Amino acid sequence: MARDLWILLWKDLRVARSYRFAFFVQMVSIVAPLVLLVFLERTLGGISVPSISEYGGNYVSFLLLGVVVTTFSATSLGAFSQSLRTAQVTGTLEALLFTKARLPVLVIGMSLYPFVRESLRMAIYIAGGFVVLGLALDTVNLLPALVVFALFLTVMLSMGLMAASFTLVFKQGDPITLLLVAGSGFLSGVIYPVEVLPLWLQKVALALPQTHAIEGLRLSVLSNASFSDISAQLIVLGIFAVIMLPLAVVGFSVAMDQARTEGSLAHF
Amino acid sequence: MALAIETENIVKRFPVTNSLGDVFAFWKRPTVEVLRGVSLEIEAGEATALLGPNGAGKTTLLKILAGLILPTEGYIEIDGEDVTDGSAARDGRLIYVSNEERSMFWRLSGRENLRVFATLQHLGRAEQSRLIPELLDLVGLTEHADRPVMRYSSGMKQRLAIARGLLVKPSVLLLDEPTRSLDPAGARQMWNFIRTELVEKLGTTLLMATHNTEEAAALCDRVAVLHNGELRAHDTVSSVISMLTGSERWIIRTTGQWNGATASVQALPGVHRVGELTDVEVDGFAVELHVDGSEDRIPVIVRHLVDSGVGVTGVEKAQVSLGAAIEQLSRTA
């Protein structure tokens, strides 16, 4: 499985590099938002915001973590449907299906390049936070932060497979990516804490995995939170992962059978 | 000889979505029947052409064998094993090569494409290093192996797709119109490659969908003819022609135009069709007749023509071409 994933990643990297200008723009776009945060930090001048004191009170650091998670989820989630559609449109999907690589592995492999690119973006943002924005290293509890990220990654993989299932059957109009990305921007506490929302919207926000991932990462990176401090976020993300992953695999298999029944695998 | 492909009563009905309501009430969507009980037996090592007009169901049948489409009813065996669920393609016993030029990663070279697919076929590095140059050589692409596929001609892309299929040494190869986008010289080269390298040297069982009857006759031991989703004939070219036409083709040369005699000859017993002669050059006037197998029809027809004032200068029995037989099938069905 590792070789299947690696060769698909290598292939996408080669293809991406062959579009030289687009590749350059992609790489530049990774660092561009960090520049915006630097100017925002200069504008706010390290003002401490009481409503986010739980996360250290620095708004730019607070925003950085929100942006990191939401950008990662938006791009990586869209990657599944997009890579599947690209394979349908470019005609490579049927050829890939004739290989010995399992289908979920193929779909994950085809989406790996944007995942890696977004993980790199995430790492650069966080590193930039330390180097440029002056985040304090002693507030970081790395291990819980990595566990939050791993659980969130599993949930995103599952959601991405579900989104790809919609693409297989309906070709366009994947509602999962649309709802999760649009919903999380408003509700997950990206630019303001969830607590400022009306109570009923706070309840809706709790149904989004991004809310718990952002919260868990902020607490572990900005407030030195331990596993027990973020146990609620870990449990919720764990439940999401345990339920979503098998559901996504079964759902994808059903979608595949449906597409084979309708003869629409290569339709676009 | 052992059977490589055996299908029994394959039926395929595709659901049709005409409105948004059909999307939600998917269990009661209307269907269209594309294959109607196709039973086909192909022996190991045999080359068979799948012929038929557009919409006959050729590509659907190939895709069902390849597991890209699930049959509604029926049973498929490849090399004696039940593969109705499409598993033959997944385990590498069967490969389907479509006429889709885009099925490669265009920005990678031919060699890189083969490397990607070889890795996904779980071939080890050593095997890849040996096999990829061998296959590139077999399909005549060694010189172009490191060029991006987007700079390949249609024929080169088709040959690369075949090389990709051969990575797993399949016992059955399904080709969907392999020469559709090739010029006549390229098509002939491809025929030669398929017949010599794939069928004769490697002993691969070949099932090839094509519209080109000349291609079918040149490459294949037998032909199978699909029409409106039904298998109408499956045998050698000459047997299929007589099976399809159910008649013999006669050419009658005359001193002048038939004028009104055409309709009256058409009305005679045993005459299936009276038409213009298109594939044989003759001096003067000549008309072709398709008459049922009984030879005593011809003197009656000649007498009728003479009585109608048409001077008959010659009568000869002619071979019906496979193309004409299929055309006739399309007209009569």
Question: How does pLDDT run across B174-195, given as a tens digit for each residue?
Answer: 988 888 777 788 788 888 888 8
At B331 the pLDDT is 66
Residue A149 lies in a domain: yes
Over pLDDT 90: what percentage of chain B?
Answer: 23
Give the contacts of A173 (CB within 8 A, at least 6 positions apart): A166
Spell out which residues of chain A touch residue B58, defining contact as CB-CB under 8 Å. Answer: none
Strands B205-209 and B172-176: parallel
User: Is the CB of A101 inside 8 Å of chain B's CB atoms?
Assistant: yes
In a domain, A268, yes or no: no
Q: Are B216 and B210 in contact (CB under 8 A)?
A: yes
pLDDT confidence of residue B283: 65
User: Does residue A122 belong to any structural domain of this protein?
Assistant: yes
Choose among A14, A94, A265: nearest Cβ to B108. A14
Gap between the Cα atoms of B111 and A112, Å rounded: 22
Q: What angle, 0 to 180 degrees and rounded to 10, lies between the N-to-C axes of helices A20-44 and A59-90?
A: 160
Chain A residues touching residue B67 (CB < 8 angstroms): 97, 260
Residue B86 C-alpha, separation from nearest chain A C-alpha, in angstroms: 10
Instruction: Give the pLDDT confidence score for residue B42 in this predicted structure.
Output: 92
State chain A's mean pLDDT as an integer.
84
CA A22 to chain centre: 22
Q: What is the per-residue DSSP string for B218-232?
A: HH-SEEEEEETTEEE
- Report yes or no on A267 lying in a domain: no
A9 assigned to some structural domain:
yes
pLDDT single digits (tens) A148-203: 999 998 998 888 888 888 888 777 667 777 777 777 888 888 888 888 899 999 99
Which residue in A3, A9, A2 sits closest to A116, CA to CA? Answer: A9
pLDDT (average), residues B197-224: 87
Question: Residue B152 has what pLDDT?
Answer: 92
Q: With an 8 Å Cβ cutoff, is A171 touching chain B?
A: no
The pLDDT mean for chain B works out to 83
Spatial neighbors of B243 by CB under 8 A, at least 6 apart, are B232, B233, B235
Q: Per-residue pLDDT tens for B228-241?
A: 899 988 888 877 77
Query: Is B145 a residue whose pLDDT tops 60?
Result: yes
> Do β-strands B3-15 and B31-43 pair in parallel, antiparallel, or remain unpaired?
antiparallel
Model confidence at B289: pLDDT above 90: no
Give B302's Cβ-side CA count (13 Å radius): 15
Average pLDDT of the segment spanning B81-87: 81
What's the rounded Cα separation, in Å, for the pair A64 and A37? Answer: 8
| Residue A29 placed within a domain | yes
Q: Worst-scoring range by mean pLDDT, B16-20, B202-206, B254-258?
A: B16-20
How many folded domains does chain A comprise? 1
Residue B333 has pLDDT above 60, yes or no: no
* Cα angle B240-B245-B250, degrees, rounded to a multiple of 5: 115
Whether B261 shows a pLDDT value over 80: the answer reads: no
Domain that residue A144 falls in: 2-262
All residues of chain B having their beta carbon less than 8 Å from the beta carbon of residue A266 are: 68, 100
Closest residue in B to A16 (Cα) is: B107
What residues of chain A score a pLDDT lower than 70?
46, 172-173, 265-268
Chain A residues lying within 8 Å of B125, measured CB to CB: none
Question: Order of strands, edge to edge, in the sheet holding B81-82?
Answer: B31-43, B3-15, B73-78, B81-82
Of B245 and B146, the one with more pLDDT: B146
Residue B14: in which H helix or E strand, if any? strand B3-15
Contact flag A14-B91 (C-beta cutoff 8 Å)? no
3 state DSSP class of B23: helix
Question: In 3D, which of B310, B313, B259, B320 has the Cα closest to residue B288?
Answer: B320
Residue located via tokens 């506490």: A189
d(CA B66, nearest CA chain A) in Å: 8
Give the helix ranges, DSSP H, for chain A: 2-18, 20-44, 59-90, 92-97, 103-110, 112-131, 142-170, 175-187, 199-206, 209-222, 231-262
Is this complex scored with an ipTM above 0.85? no
Q: Cβ–Cβ of A92/B148 closer than 8 Å?
A: no
